[in-house]
């Protein structure tokens, strides 16, 4: 009996760890409720609507809805080391759901984990927290589940648990030891806002299920801050390879409330299961409830051995060793496009690294999990667009350790170094290896450090990354080479530099003759960046050529390189410019501006380049050609759209790519005076601007 009791305790707690529901904002959602049964009174309708809001507070839909399944009809699979368990149907269907439950039976299931037929629920359903619910909220939730949902006759799928985990009777003893079925008792020394927050966090939000450490029987060590071990309540725990951070003494109230509404704030962006919590639950809370939750969390003193939230060290600056260390160069190649050289990220899109709690955490589980499997932001009404971070499992354990230790040393409050063996262990746990079948193997910028001319190579790379800043006399727009040659020429189908210098000297149709690599580089300055050519014997030109030559590796001119160029689109597709305008508004405007002006940091530094206007590429650029631009867009835009390595790039249809390319390529842009000398022998492309 003792063994069974402990085993069932472990199993119950394991399942609890997979779920988290915090409380957050917005007035009671104005959703449409389909009332089942006969006409009801206005009072009953209000109770049902209130119950729908309580369901959001308790995050019922996340667990009780299968992927692409009917809402609340159950069937969501939860794999565990002991077998599988499936969520149950809680619609009012009388056969498969809870349509026959009396209020007393429903109340017992919610507070004590015992169903109408008397069997014990696994604590995957967090009844130890729901036990704190008020009777008013319980009755409202009951009314909503019984009358506000359509009955769905979807039979419950039996659990597939191995013996002895398939036996539930051991939970009776677990409940006797750890369950307090009493409802929430307000603290009379605190105000109404604090007490509302405490009620939501401890009860319906069941935040402790993930964020409170577990005891020997895998019970939560405390169910509230007032318990005998109250200093451990919400002090953080590692859950399914995610670190559920401490919620004690959290950010300022406004920061926490905003995160609960949007899934992000000025310090961080939620990840893992918490993105689901924001989407299904907390974004629907009233402003007052989000503020109450944030107020309560802020009031809790820091837990034992808790890492403090690092204080701002002033304006962000570019790290001094960004270009002199393997970790820094790895960061430049794989992280800068979103998180920027100074680690500030991009507001409302990609999170900053300075003061980021995931980066600073003593337990790096979440950081490793995200790097190996990627992640997505929460979809909310305030921020409906989801941004994705791809998995970087293609990088070796050592490469990931180098990058992570660089950013943790700079922006992570000097958190403990991460070892390659830690990453290897996490990779095995997550079964996370190379996540795509791409043949293109990007060169690693960090390897330049072993070259005899490392300084020159790094300068050449920087001239591609920071062209406008380093060569202001030669660039007449706001572009850098990496504006098109993504990640400094290391991304497939974005004109990567891999092996390019092997084809020079080579014939160029525009010039009608054989040209050198130096002439090709100057062609970009003149035709694309509305600028002036570099002197052929300048140190800058030599550095750029050296970088190209390093990218050549042992590739020969006749070799076919997967991913070289920008790919192709079907040139028989006829562009629909009006649809292109709509695609631009929905997919491109967030980065490139509502009038093609691009986006900039506060001090004016360009984040994402203008797509038309005086500061954009001129009509001599390859990107000024409709179908060339369409091919680039098809493979590479937008970034952060899904989880393709390394930028989450691409994802729109071929027709939409042609349409949006036709829209932005023909917008006003600088002229190219030298255009009269182009195409002297060969037929110019059908989509050339001149």
Return the pLDDT at 4: 35
Return the pLDDT at 562: 92
- Reply yes or no on whether the pLDDT at 632 is more than 50: yes
Contacts of 445 (CB under 8 A, 6+ apart): 329, 330, 332, 333, 461, 488, 490
**Position 631 confidence tier, pLDDT thresholds 50, 70, 90:** very high
In the numeric block, the tokens 């050549």 are attached to 552
CB 245 within 8 A of CB 361: yes
The tens digit of pLDDT for each residue in 444-482 reads 999 999 999 999 999 999 999 999 999 999 999 999 999
pTM equals: 0.89
The tens digit of pLDDT for each residue in 167-195 reads 788 789 889 999 999 999 999 999 999 99
**Position 437 confidence tier, pLDDT thresholds 50, 70, 90:** confident
Strand order in the sheet with 83-86: 77-80, 83-86, 160-161
Distance CA 273, CA 313 (A): 31
The tens digit of pLDDT for each residue in 188-233 reads 999 999 999 999 999 999 999 999 998 887 889 999 999 989 999 9
**Position 36 confidence tier, pLDDT thresholds 50, 70, 90:** low
Return the pLDDT at 335: 97
Return the pLDDT at 163: 79
SS3 74: strand
- Reply yes or no on whether the pLDDT at 31 is more than 80: no
Give the chain's mean pLDDT: 90
- 227, exposed or middle or buried, with CB in 10 Å at 0-12, 13-18, 19+? middle
Of residues 205 and 124, which shows the higher confidence score? Answer: 205
Return the pLDDT at 311: 59
| Number of C-beta neighbours around residue 298 at 10 A | 18
DSSP state of 27: S
Reference 142, options 51, 69, 212, 13; nearest CA is 51
**Position 25 confidence tier, pLDDT thresholds 50, 70, 90:** very low
CB 539 within 8 A of CB 462: no
Tell me what the mean pLDDT of segment 345-369 comes to. Answer: 91
């Amino acid at each position: 009996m003792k063994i069974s009791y402990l085993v069932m305790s472990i199993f119950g707690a394991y399942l609890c760890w997979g779920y988290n529901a915090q409380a957050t904002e917005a007035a009671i959602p104005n959703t449409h409720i389909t009332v089942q049964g006969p006409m009801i009174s206005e009072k009953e309708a209000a109770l049902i609507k209130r119950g729908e809001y309580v369901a959001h507070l308790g995050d019922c839909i996340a667990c009780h809805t299968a992927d692409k399944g009917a809402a609340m009809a159950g069937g969501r699979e939860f794999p565990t080391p002991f077998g599988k368990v499936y969520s149950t149907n809680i619609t009012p269907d009388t056969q498969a759901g809870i349509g026959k439950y009396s209020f007393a039976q429903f109340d017992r299931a919610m507070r004590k984990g015992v169903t109408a037929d008397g069997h014990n629920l696994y604590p995957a359903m967090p009844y130890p927290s729901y036990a704190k619910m008020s009777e008013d909220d319980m009755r409202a939730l009951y009314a909503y589940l019984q009358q506000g949902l359509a009955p769905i006759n979807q039979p419950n799928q039996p659990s597939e648990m191995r013996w002895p985990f398939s036996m539930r009777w051991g939970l009776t003893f677990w409940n006797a030891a750890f369950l307090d079925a009493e409802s929430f008792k307000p603290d009379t020394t605190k105000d109404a806002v604090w007490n509302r927050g405490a009620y939501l966090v401890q009860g319906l939000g069941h935040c402790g299920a993930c964020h409170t450490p577990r005891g020997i029987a895998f019970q939560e060590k405390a169910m509230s801050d007032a318990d005998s071990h109250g200093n451990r309540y919400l002090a953080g725990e590692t859950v399914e390879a995610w670190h559920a951070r401490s919620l004690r003494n959290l950010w300022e109230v406004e920061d926490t409330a905003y995160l609960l509404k949007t899934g992000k704030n000025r310090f961080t962006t939620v990840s893992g299961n918490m993105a689901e919590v924001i989407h299904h639950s907390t974004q629907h809370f009233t402003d007052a409830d989000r503020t109450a939750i944030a107020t309560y969390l802020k009031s809790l003193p820091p837990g034992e051995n808790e890492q403090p939230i690092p204080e701002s060290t002033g304006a962000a600056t570019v790290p001094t060793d960004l270009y002199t260390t393997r970790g820094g160069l790895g960061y430049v190649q794989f992280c800068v496009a979103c998180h920027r050289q100074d680690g500030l990220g991009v507001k409302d899109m990609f999170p900053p690294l300075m003061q980021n709690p995931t980066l600073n955490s003593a337990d790096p589980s979440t950081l490793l999990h995200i790097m190996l499997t990627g992640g997505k932001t929460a979809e909310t009404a305030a921020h409906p667009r989801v941004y994705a971070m791809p998995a970087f499992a293609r990088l070796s354990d050592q490469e990931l350790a180098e990058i992570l230790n660089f950013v943790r040393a700079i922006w992570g409050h000097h958190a403990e170094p991460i070892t390659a063996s830690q990453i290897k262990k996490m990779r095995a746990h997550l079964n996370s290896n190379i996540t795509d079948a791409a043949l293109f193997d990007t060169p690693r910028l960090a390897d330049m450090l072993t070259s005899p001319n490392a300084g020159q190579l790094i300068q050449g790379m920087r001239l591609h990354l920071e062209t406008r800043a380093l060569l202001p006399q030669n660039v007449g727009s706001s572009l850098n080479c990496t504006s098109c040659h993504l990640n400094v020429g290391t991304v497939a189908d974005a004109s990567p530099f891999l092996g390019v210098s092997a084809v020079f000297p080579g014939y160029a149709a525009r010039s009608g003759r054989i040209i050198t690599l130096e002439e090709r580089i100057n062609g970009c300055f003149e035709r694309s960046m509305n600028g002036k050519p570099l002197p052929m014997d300048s140190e800058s030109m030599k550095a750029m050529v050296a970088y190209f030559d390093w990218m050549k590796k042992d590739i020969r001119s006749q070799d076919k390189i997967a991913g070289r160029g920008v790919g192709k689109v079907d040139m028989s597709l006829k562009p629909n410019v009006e649809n292109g305008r709509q695609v631009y508004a929905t997919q491109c405007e967030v980065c490139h501006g509502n009038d093609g002006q691009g986006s900039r940091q506060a001090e004016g530094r360009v984040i994402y380049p203008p797509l038309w206007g005086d500061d954009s590429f001129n009509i001599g650029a390859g990107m000024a050609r409709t179908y060339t631009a369409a091919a680039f867009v098809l493979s590479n835009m937008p970034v952060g759209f899904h989880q393709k390595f390394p930028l989450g790039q691409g994802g729109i249809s071929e027709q939409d790519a042609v349409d949006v390319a036709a829209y932005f390529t023909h917008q006003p842009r600088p002229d190219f005076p030298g255009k009269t000398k182009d195409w002297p022998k060969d037929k110019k492309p059908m989509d050339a601007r001149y």
